[in-house]
Structure 1
Amino acid sequence: MNDTFLKACRGEKTAYTPVWFMRQAGRYLPEYQKVRGKVTFLELCKNPELCTEVTLQPIDIFDFDAAILFSDILIPMEAMNLRLEFHEGRGPVFPDPVRSRQEVDELIIPDPEETMPFVLETIRLLRNELKVPLIGFSGAPFTLATYLIEGGSSKVFYQTKRMMFEEPALYDALLRKITRCTSLYLQAQARAGAQALQIFDSWAGILAPVDYARFALPYVQSIITDLRKVTDVPIIYFANNGSTLIEHTVTAGADVLGLDWRLNIKEGIARIGEHAVQGNLDPMALFLPKEELEQRIKQLLEDAAGARGHIFNLGHGIQPQTSPDQARIAVEAVHRFSGR
């Protein structure tokens, strides 16, 4: 087992900088497209054999130092008694948004073993195949709540913020249910064999720091506190567009903080202190010419030299239009420049 990624998460000395990419199993790969052409996205997420296949694809092709479970952050929300659909060009849709006390009360807190066994079976299958660590994951409660309240993706998050400010008790009741569901889900992933866990707060950056501290952070802290009682696997917290939130995210309790590209990683490291750091190449930088891409990666590695531990990653998910050749150039450059 190549445990370089796990060592970096724990802040231990590594022979080189480990690298993986968010959404590394996905639409930019012809191999993935071939599998995806046979099933819908939700059917793929619920098929352990196919999920195992697409999770392994980028490991076999690019030599990443960690694999991330193929799934979707909204799978446990469907298990809470909600109808989830994926529409081409629109993304995830909840046809019946959650905006009233009755709708919150009707949500269940599912047993992951009973309602999402396909996720846990995928983890078990992957552990038998992988020679690098496996990352499990979930969405953060605030990010998950935005999809339930808005009914899907949003640009202004009108319904979410209106509930936060006008009906904070209702908002808290919803977030508490989502938090409990997510906590149980991540605990089950750890029991099934996930060797690290990442919490994605994709929409945290839409909040003012004072609102993040009240309406998002406490629920993440609750999940991590629960996890610490039952597992010692490293925990990564990624608050997208969160450079204004670092003084709060450092209190979340995670071992590793993910940074997006909007902040120089050297500055980020100075602000996060004793945490390991993950990031933070702009995904669009993968469209640079080879020499410029390699130079940018080299500079990023140099800027991250002072980190307690550094895991090279993109500042968000790899774009579907990215050439696999560019991904290969990036992974090889990280390994070469960091001493592998």
Structure 2
Amino acid sequence: MVIPETFKAIRAEENSSGNIRPLLKEVSLDSLPAHEVLIRVEYSSLNYKDALSATGNRGVTRNYPHTPGIDACGTVVYSADQSFKKGDLVLVCGYDLGMNTPGGFGQYIQVPAAWVMPLPEGLGMRESMMLGTAGFTAALALYKMEMNGQRPGNGPVLVTGAGGGLGSLAINILSRTGYEVIAATGKTSAHEYFKSIGAAQVIDREQVNDHSGKLLLRQRWAGVIDTVGGNILSTAIRACQAHGNVAVCGNAASFELSVNVYPFILNGVNLLGIDSATCPMELRKQVWKKLADEWRPEALDQISLGISLEALPKHIHLLLEGKIRGRVYINLKD
């Protein structure tokens, strides 16, 4: 494999108006940080955090210009760490990739060896990025819920933000593993889509947006995978069955949470924080192994859209406008 002096990347740069926008650029290989493992990126994926980074959110990325992309899958070109060798197929998701370290929206990344894991057996590179951080987060949520006693026989599991990548994959993984799924979404016109990927019931998100002020609500689900935060999360907690698990995975609606203690001290509801970025490597490998095997979503092609690097800036803006359903993965090979 010939290592080029430059490579294609989507760079978030400030324009003459002071706005930061994603642009397709040629980037010098020498600009990559001096970490142990150089990887030729074959596929990446588009996440909400990437869209924020690409448009100048300094809560995600401090300094610009910058290459976003919190997910990357590809081939090792060089490794100063004996854990990896040239030609290994590897996966990097989370840590600081794409936040303040140049990420998977470039054809090459150079990262610490501690961030790199072998591509799970039985999972192709394209499939791994159909899953990406969204699929890993959904699976990590279910893993922690089941560690805490969640079982299909306990009752249905609510998924909020069901139309997003994380929500769609959560529905399909839960359905695959025998759970009855209630999908809460603002995209109720896509009712058939949610049914086709495994939702038993589709409800409007306003049904999970209670403003009554009640401290507890009628119990409606045995567990929750929440991707939106705010009052929807508060409602989901107050309507959760006794000893159920509520996994907190995102803040698409709000980073704030206002809830009283009664769901926890009277109903024994468990609030589980899901941090996919800094998940320990051994746990990370266990969850990815499940994703490659018994938890492998059956509707990946239906949930995912493949695009080129050139098309990525357009899809970044579509994601921020709420106009993308499911997952977007990027082919960087060409």
User: Which structure features the higher share of helix residues?
Assistant: 1
Q: TM-score w.r.t. structure 1 length?
A: 0.26
- Higher RCO, Cα 8 Å, sep 6+: 1
User: Which structure features the higher share of strand residues?
Assistant: 2
Q: Which entry has the higher C-alpha Rg, 1 or 2?
A: 2
